[in-house]
Amino acid sequence: MDRTFVMVKPDGVQRGLAGEIISRFEAKGLKLVGAKLELLPEERVVEQYREHLEKPFFPGLKAYIMSGPCFLMVWEGKGAVAVVRRMVGATNPAEAAPGSIRGDFALDIGRNVIHASDSPESAVRELGIHFEAEDLVGYSRIDEPVLYE
């Protein structure tokens, strides 16, 4: 099964959206295998967003991500990385489809509520930045026999 890294950003936590976001992934059938609320240290924010280090928006992005607690999660399921990206929606909430999390709950690209890994390779890398193997819990959901063919 695939695993993906998801993070409710500080605006999402402050706006009380963590529960709604968890509910959407749970209802989809994905399985929560790790979670924690955390103020991210600078070195992990830099590592997380290393591809954007030279972008003009990086200082603002770093300040935003460090402005309050983030809710970090690992979700597991068939095709989890791509499924979650579709549920999260386009980076710019103004262009994100209605029904997606960013489409329903955000307006500004600089305050887009949630992060999700964009490829299986990113998921492995990002999981490794934020979670130890022993932080993740393997178990069966009781509905798995009816969720999957």
Residue numbering of the annotated binding site for ATP: 9, 57, 85, 91, 102, 112
Which parts of 75-142 fold into alpha helices (H)? 80-88, 101-105, 120-130
Residue indicated by tokens 């936590």 = 13
CA–CA dist 44, 21 (Å, integer): 23
Active site residues: 115
Instruction: Decide: 70 and 52 in contact? Cβ < 8 Å.
Output: no
- Please give the helix or strand (H or E) that residue 31 lies within, else none: strand 31-38
Return the residues of window 64-103 that contact ligand IDP according to CB under 6 A: 91
Say whether residue 135 binds ligand IDP (CB under 6 A).
no
Which of 118, 120, 129, 135 lies at the binding interface for ligand IDP (CB under 6 A)? Answer: 118
For the annotated binding site, the residues are: 9, 57, 85, 91, 102, 112
Nearer of residues 57 and 148 to ligand IDP, judged by Cβ: 57
Residues that bind ligand IDP (CB under 6 A): 52, 57, 61, 91, 109-110, 112, 115, 118
